[in-house]
Amino acid sequence: MHDLLSSFGLSSSGDHLVRSPIDGSEIGRVRFDGPAEIERKIAASAEAFKAWRDVPAPKRGELVRLFGEELRANKDALGRLVTVENGKILQEGLGEVQEMIDICDFAVGLSRQLYGLTIASERPGHRMMETWHPAGPVAVISAFNFPVAVWSWNAALALVCGDSVIWKPSKKVPLAALATQVLFERAAARFGGAPAALSQVALCTRAAGELLTRDGRIPVVSATGSTAMGKQIGPIVAARFGRSILELGGNNAMIVCPSAKLELAERAILFAAVGTAGQRCTSLRRLFVHDAVHDELLTRLKALYSKLVIGDPLTKGTLVGPLIDRAAFETMERALAEARKDGGMVSGGGRVLEKVHPEAWYARPAIVEMTKQTAIVREETFAPILYVMRWRDFDAVLAEHNAVPQGLSSCIFTRDLQEAEKFLAVSGSDCGIANVNIGPSGAEIGGAFGGEKETGGGRESGSDCWKAYMRRQTATVNFSDALPLAQGIEFGV
């Protein structure tokens, strides 16, 4: 670990201890910012913004291109650090860095495409247009489960849009954030002339982090985490008329229809339900299987679950790493107990490897057969629990699918065109992401990512999400010798 940190030039100092969920060992120490340092960082960010907004957007893209190069050159080290600090398997740690590289590529292209509109004016000799200007400093608050990728979705776009960035990572994964900052600073040094404090990291407690949400100098707050966090932050930002991009909890489902190709469905289920030890916002939590294929699919799934390799996420072949901490394990156990009370039949669950790693929290992924969608099923439990329910009527299962407070990701496995189209239609899935014959997790960066209802309504990453990091200006130019008023209004003395 020492070598890994020193490859980023990071030393370990400070009073906040960082432990690896792999074995509970100390992997570093960091120093937290207090309110005065947060204030200094906000002021510095506001200064950096003033300089950066005047740099032409394609030139801003060049900095992001260089940052992408640093990420490519250090993909292995950063991916490994993500795995050690967060516990996701190495393939997923590397995948997370690849997502960062992909969004940098996307943002570089975008830096030449921040298009406005020219709009037909109703007045003769007038031209009306819409221009997008940088918004200002952007605060990015990120969750433990994607220690670096989600920040990059925000930062790569914000930077080409002309904004400065302050990043408050989860206190559970600060080292990956510091390493990312080192790579950014290397890119900035090669770029030459980027303002100091263009992108900063603020390691701090929630209370200090809240200062970022309250400060009027920060027009955009992008926050990823639990719905409980969004319920705190959303009103604070709204009260000062700031803009928030909220990416909150999910309770994602799959509907399996009689015509589904079960070999594909079972692979998608496995990746989505047990990948990242069930700690993705898009993890599959609810599985609705048609009566005709229910027993067969369940038998196949149980066979697959029995072969899962649970253990060290750095070891090749491991599919399930540890949960982030003891609290996560206890929440999982509580949810399973609740489901049992509701009549659920639980296969799996429970702690494993406690003798080898008494300070780490490895859990066996669980399948829970439910007769109906009870209160615990409607909650997001951030752990590898898959609730399985049987269905017979398509309209009824669609209604059940949507009958949860969250609305992030969803999918259907079918080869019936009508079912697929109904799922994607206005009366179908109410989620921000709806897939056909693909699982709910593992989105590409090209699309807009996010969801509805208690997921917060924010969108990040591809498509036209960049608009959230800019302010829109409508400008009308009169090049005639008259002053006609809109709507033909006559007004004069």
Q: Known catalytic residues? A: 247, 281
Q: Concatenated DSSP letters for 235-292?
A: HHHHHTT-EEEEE----EEEEE-TT--HHHHHHHHHHHHHGGGG-STT-EEEEEEEHH
Among 155, 197, 229, 383, binds ligand NAD (CB under 6 A): 229
Amino acid letter, 388? V
Interface with ligand NAD includes 225 (CB under 6 A)? yes
Considering the complex, state which of residue 164 and residue 224 has its C-beta at the smaller distance from ligand NAD: 224
- Does residue number 297 form part of the binding site for ligand NAD (CB under 6 A)? no
Choices 15-23, 176-184, 192-200, 224-232 (CB under 6 A): range interacting with ligand NAD: 224-232
Q: Which residue is nearest to ligand NAD (CB)?
A: 225
| Binding-site string for ligand NAD from residue 447 to residue 466, where x marks contact by CB under 6 A and - marks none | --------x-----------
Contacts 24+ apart (CB under 8 A), 52-59: 52/134, 52/159, 52/162, 52/163, 52/164, 52/194, 52/195, 52/198, 53/133, 53/134, 53/162, 53/163, 55/162, 57/111, 57/112, 57/114, 57/160, 57/161, 57/162, 58/111, 58/112
What is the closest distance, in whole angstroms, from the C-beta atom of residue 210 to ligand NAD in the complex?
4
Q: Per CB under 6 A, does 250 bind ligand NAD?
A: yes
Q: Between 66 and 208, whose beta carbon lies closer to ligand NAD?
A: 208
Spatial neighbors of 194 by CB under 8 A, at least 6 apart, are 52, 63, 188
Q: Which single residue is written with the structure tokens 């033909």?
A: 488
Among 62, 92, 266, 380, binds ligand NAD (CB under 6 A): 380
Q: Say how far apart CA 310 and CA 46 lie, in whole Å.
A: 46
Angle between helices 57-73 and 149-161 (to 10 degrees): 150
Per-residue binding letters, 313-332, with ligand NAD (x by CB under 6 A): --------------------
Q: Which residue has the tokens 């702690």?
A: 351
- Quick one: which segment of 94-102, 223-231, 285-293, 467-475 binds ligand NAD (CB under 6 A)? 223-231
Contact residue for ligand NAD among 131, 226, 318, 437 (CB under 6 A): 226
Q: How far apart are CA 417 and CA 432, in angstroms?
A: 21
Task: Check if the beta carbon of residue 441 is closer than 8 Å to that of residue 272.
Answer: yes
Comparing CB distances to ligand NAD, the nearer of 134 and 225 is 225
Nearest approach in angstroms of CB 299 to ligand NAD is 30
Q: Give the C-alpha distances (Å, rounded to integers) separating 297 from 243, 288, 470.
A: 44, 11, 47
Residue 62 lies near ligand NAD (rule: CB under 6 A): no
Nearer to ligand NAD, 8 or 146 (CB): 146
CB of 465 to ligand NAD, least distance (A): 12
- Please give the Cα distance from 125 to 128 (Å, whole number): 10
Nearer to ligand NAD by Cβ, of 369 and 379: the residue is: 379
DSSP state of 194: P
Verify binding: residue 27, ligand NAD, rule CB under 6 A. no
- The contacts of residue 40 (CB under 8 Å, 6+ apart) are none
DSSP β-bridge partners for residue 461: 448
Does 361 interact with ligand NAD (rule: CB under 6 A)? no
- Nearer to ligand NAD (CB atom), residue 146 or residue 184: 146
Nearest-approach distance from CB 153 to ligand NAD, in angstroms: 9
Residue from 86, 111, 170, 441 in contact with ligand NAD (CB under 6 A): 170
Select from 20, 111, 164, 213 the one that contacts ligand NAD (CB under 6 A). 213
Residue 263 CB partners (closer than 8 Å, separation 6+): none
Q: How far apart are the first and last CA of the chain?
A: 80
Phi, psi of 76, deg, nearest 5: -65, -45
Instruction: Tell me the residue type at 143.
Output: A
For the chain, the residue count is: 493
* CA 88 – CA 94 distance, rounded (Å): 10
CB of 91 to ligand NAD, least distance (A): 18
Q: Is 379 in the site for ligand NAD (CB under 6 A)?
A: no
CB atoms within 10 A of CB 341: 10
The stretch near ligand NAD (CB under 6 A) out of 40-48, 70-78, 208-216, 367-375 is 208-216
Binding of ligand NAD at residue 247 (CB under 6 A)? yes
Binding piece for ligand NAD, criterion CB under 6 A, among 73-81, 203-211, 270-278, 332-340: 203-211
Verify binding: residue 151, ligand NAD, rule CB under 6 A: no
Q: Compute the least distance from the CB of residue 166 to ligand NAD, in Å.
A: 12
Helix (H, G, I), strand (E, B) or coil at 485: coil
Say how many residues touch ligand NAD, by CB under 6 A.
28
What tokens appear for 405 in the block? 């407070």
Residue from the set 72, 206, 267, 472 that interacts with ligand NAD by CB under 6 A: 206
Min CB(454)–ligand NAD separation in Å = 10
- Assess 381 for contact with ligand NAD (CB under 6 A): no
Instruction: Choose, by CB under 6 A, the member of 82, 103, 104, 143 that binds ligand NAD.
Output: 143
How far apart CA 180 and CA 229 sit, in angstroms, is 24
**Footprint of ligand NAD (CB under 6 A):** 141-146, 150, 168, 170, 206, 209-210, 213, 224-226, 229, 232-233, 247-250, 281, 380, 382, 408, 455
